[in-house]
Amino acid sequence: MEHSTFVQKYRANKIEVSVDKNKAGFMYENPGLLPQNLRKKQALIRTSGFGGVLLGIVLFFFSPWWLALIVLFFGLFMFPNAQKSAAKGVLDASLADQYVYQAAVDNQVIVIREKA
């Protein structure tokens, strides 16, 4: 399906687009593929997740256990959020840029189905 057709049908709600959350994250590894603002947002979310987990583990030794647990859960919560954000970012970028759309279709990151 051509990019212009994809955008038209998506906006008219005539197709269903599913984004593989795991594969979407790998599209952020190519520096020139996705817009810089999406890449920065994704980096911030992932860094928050890793930082929260690390800080939560350290806090178990230096603070009340409940505070460490809250920070640890916050960090762990960020990872599913990163996957959702990656999938949304790839879909938005695919709608805006033909090159991103083609890369996503070729790598089976997005799967397009006609609505019945």
For the chain, the domain total comes to 1
Residues of the chain with pLDDT under 70: none
Among candidate residues 103, 109, 116, the one with its CA nearest the CA of residue 18: 109
* Structural domain for 96, as ranges: 3-114
pTM greater than 0.85: no
